[in-house]
Amino acid sequence: MTNWIELEQKFAFEVFPKRDLVIIRGQGASLWDDRGNEYIDCTAGIGVANVGHANPDVVEALHAQAQKLITCPGIFYNDARARLMQKLVRAAPQGLTRAFLCNSGTEAMEAAIKFARLTTGKNGFISAMRGFHGRSMGALSATYKYREEFEPLIPGHQFVPFGNLSKLEAAIETDTGAIILELVQGEGGVRPADPDYLKGVQALCNQNDVLLIVDEVQTGFGRTGKMFACQTYEIDPDIMTLAKGIAGGVPMGATLCNDRIASAAGKHGSTFGGNPLACAAAEATIDYLQSHGLAERAAELGAAFVGRFNTRSPTVVREVRQLGLMIGIELKARSRPYLEKLMLAGVLALPAGPTVIRLLPPLVISEEKLLEACDILADVLNQDPSA
């Protein structure tokens, strides 16, 4: 039997902290390793597989499109691309009328930063502490963590506490072109914003002629109980960045813009962005999300999980934060040992900072499986992780 861990270790230029697990197959909200063990997946590929692993509608769309046309650069028009952009705009918050298609969330943020600078002629950006917007040099400039070894980054970016409107207002300067925010901080600990704070942010942007860039890379496509978290909070961004759940696991990102954003024709691009294969997967994903009511289902299941967990809440738990099926459990101890124990017990979850367990299950997960994962998690958190 091939040792896949040794083989990957031999050839990979490693950037991820790995777990001792080889995943080879997935279906719905279940994953299997190379030894045949089944796991309840509460990672969804870090919030990617919203419609489940190997979703049959996505698989069918990929198969049909692969037989027809796989790649088509943006210098030509394309039917699959046109259909998807129409579908994205129709599903998006009001006012977002144009879409730039790319390959990832960090590329979507790179585009958003460039489009904002083109539109405003200003170089200043304000982001939130604990915020995460990607790891490329531009997106990393707007990200609070992972910066030190790569500085100097792009100048003009400053950070204020998430949720503190007065600090945000004080940070706005004449050269401020845009404010960049997640509506629920993901990597920063699963921290939903206060609705009044976001209304205040929108008002500050309007009063100061500053663009509002909302990062929905993790919160989009049904994850938080609406198609987009903007719709929960009734926020109208000038630019919205998307990726992760957009195409059922196929790499894709998008930057949606309102009519205020200046054209970037001839000033930006992407070789693979908007390729027909990814567009077909994304169209099938959005159709599946909408026809199966997965956003509404996420709201119901998230509430059921928290209700069940709170009846058994272990003493190591400091706080539970949740919006839809985006769940963060903050501990009074480091999360990593518990995540390892949880994996051994058959449930896969994520960290979100050193003390937070993050759960992002596929939105197709059954209530039975979700509550089983909840009970296993509660049992693990009631144990000594060093035992």
CA distance 41 to 365: 9
Is residue 385's pLDDT more than 90?
A: no
Q: What is the mean pLDDT of residues 131-150?
A: 96
pLDDT bucket at 14, cuts 50 / 70 / 90: very high
Closest by Cα among 94, 84, 89, 141 to 116: 141
**pLDDT score recorded for residue 66:** 98
Residues 6+ apart with CB under 8 A from 221: 50, 227, 228, 242, 244, 245, 246, 285, 286, 289
Pairing of strands 30-33, 176-182: unpaired
Residue keyed to tokens 């101890």: 333
**pLDDT score recorded for residue 152:** 95
Q: 220 near 229, Cβ under 8 Å?
A: yes
pLDDT bucket at 77, cuts 50 / 70 / 90: very high
Of 13-22, 173-182, 296-305, which gets the smallest average pLDDT?
A: 13-22
pLDDT bucket at 384, cuts 50 / 70 / 90: confident
Residues 6+ apart with CB under 8 A from 343: 19, 21, 39
Q: What is the mean pLDDT of residues 47-76?
A: 98
Mean pLDDT over each residue of the chain, to the nearest integer: 97
The 8-class DSSP code of residue 53 comes to B
Alpha carbon 383 to chain centroid, angstroms:
31
Question: pLDDT tens digits, residue range 277-323?
Answer: 999 999 999 999 999 999 999 999 999 999 999 999 899 999 999 99
Domains and CATH numbers, the chain: 4-53+293-365 (3.90.1150.10), 57-291 (3.40.640.10)
3-state SS of 27-40?
Answer: EECEEEECCCCEEE
Question: pLDDT tens digits, residue range 225-261?
Answer: 999 999 999 999 999 999 999 999 999 999 999 999 9
Is residue 263's pLDDT more than 90?
A: yes
**pLDDT score recorded for residue 1:** 78
Alpha carbon 65 to chain centroid, angstroms:
26
